């Protein structure tokens, strides 16, 4: 995979989509492309297919919202999913003393979904919603790293994808102990409480 320093090294880009409320992993994908720019719409499609529901909001970091991806999510969900992601700062030329344009205003060439995204991210409500990402998606990612999902014991996309699926399954089973212990045979008494804190 091509790295940020321009070199190539054995690596994989593992993507996990999780719910904000319960931190349950609902989407998994693996690629050997370092950029996240083309990953958003396929993951939304996967989550819709897997869960049978369309997410009302899709929180992603600044590496995901390429304009064509925002358009693709809008088209696939018929406008039911709002992309919540920071709008990048406008690029400035060296020596340019003019104040930068407002990044939340519609730009020439913006599609309607992209213009709506820009305007949405100017509001305090969307900014407050985006703050949830640090406590949810980043928590799930940190747990994956802490549990060893950094160095893969296998090679090849299909094998790495299998490891990522197994990790997601194990993660979700551990979340079930917290969310609904009765569904996995954990009672609500002292033993169930002890298992929930383990």
Residue 5 in any domain: the answer is: no
Domain-located, residue 144: yes
Give the domain range for residue 124.
13-88+100-197
Which stretches does DSSP call E strand in 13-116? 13-18, 25-31, 57-59, 82-84
List the structure tokens of 38. 């083309």
Residue 40 lies in a domain: yes
| Domain annotation covers residue 46 | yes
> Which residues make Cβ contacts (< 8 Å) with residue 182, sequence separation at least 6?
188, 192
- 2 domain residue, yes or no: no
pLDDT at res. 187 = 59
Q: Does residue 172 sit within a domain? A: yes
Identify the pLDDT of residue 188: 55
Rounded to whole angstroms, the Cα distance separating 46 from 64 reads: 16
Is residue 12 within 8 Å of 3, Cβ to Cβ?
no
What pLDDT is attached to residue 193? 54
Please tell me the predicted confidence (pLDDT) of residue 96.
Answer: 73
Go through 131-167 and write b for each residue having 16 or more CB atoms within 10 A of its CB, e for each that does not: eebeebbeebeebbeeeebeebeeeeeeebbebbeeb
Classify residue 48: in a domain, yes or no. Answer: yes
Per the domain annotation, does 80 fall within a domain? yes
pLDDT at 181: 79
Domain count of the fold of the chain: 1
Side-chain-side CA neighbours of residue 27 (13 Å):
25
Question: pLDDT below 70 — which residues of the chain?
Answer: 184, 186-198
């Amino acid at each position: 995979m091509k790295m940020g320093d321009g070199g190539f090294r054995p690596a994989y880009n593992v993507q996990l989509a999780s719910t904000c409320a319960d931190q349950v992993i609902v989407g998994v994908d693996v690629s050997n492309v370092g950029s996240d720019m083309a990953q958003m719409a396929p993951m939304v499609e996967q989550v819709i297919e897997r869960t049978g529901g369309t997410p009302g909001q899709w929180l992603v970091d600044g590496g995901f919202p390429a304009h064509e991806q925002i358009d693709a999510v809008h088209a696939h969900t018929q406008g039911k999913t709002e992309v919540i992601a920071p709008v990048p700062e406008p690029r400035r030329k060296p020596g340019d003393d003019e104040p930068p344009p407002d990044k939340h205003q519609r730009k020439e060439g913006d599609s309607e979904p992209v213009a709506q995204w820009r305007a949405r991210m100017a509001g305090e409500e969307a900014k407050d919603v985006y703050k949830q990402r640090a406590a949810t998606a980043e928590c799930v990612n940190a747990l994956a790293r802490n549990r060893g999902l950094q160095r893969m014991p296998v090679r090849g996309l299909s094998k790495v994808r299998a490891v990522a699926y197994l990790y997601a399954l194990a993660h979700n089973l551990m979340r079930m102990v917290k969310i609904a212990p009765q569904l996995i045979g954990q009672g609500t008494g002292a033993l169930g409480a002890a298992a929930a804190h383990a």
